[in-house]
Amino acid sequence: MNEVLLSRMLEVLTPEIVANLRKAIELGKWPDGKRLTREQLETSMQAVIAWEAKHLPQTERSGYIEKKEKEGEVCDTPHPEQQRVKFLH
């Protein structure tokens, strides 16, 4: 999606429209029952992601996964037993 089209789209999107787009993406069809084409699905997803990035904090965006600590370790910390594979010649 080009910059001009994206900018215009973001100007007209409202929270209600974005909620309807999310629902259509989830179900794979419009409220009238017609299936989304691949292009409609991709465009709708891009619109939702762009709108959320502009209007919502990261924790409220679609697909956000909260990184929590497990007992004594942080999820992004490599496990101490993980080692690189060494190839022998």
25-79 per-position pLDDT tens digit = 999 999 999 999 999 999 999 999 999 988 889 888 888 888 776 665 555 556 6
Q: Enumerate residues 6+ apart whose C-beta is below 8 A from 25.
A: 36, 41, 44, 45, 48
Length of the chain: 89
Which band of pLDDT confidence, cut at 50, 70 and 90, is reported for residue 18? very high
Query: Domain residues of the chain, as ranges?
Result: 3-65
Q: Which residues of 34-70 are buried (b: 16+ CB within 10 A; e: fewer)?
A: eebeeebeebbeebbebbbeeeeeeeeeeeeeeeeee
**CA 83 – CA 52 distance, rounded (Å):** 38
0.75 exceeded by pTM: no
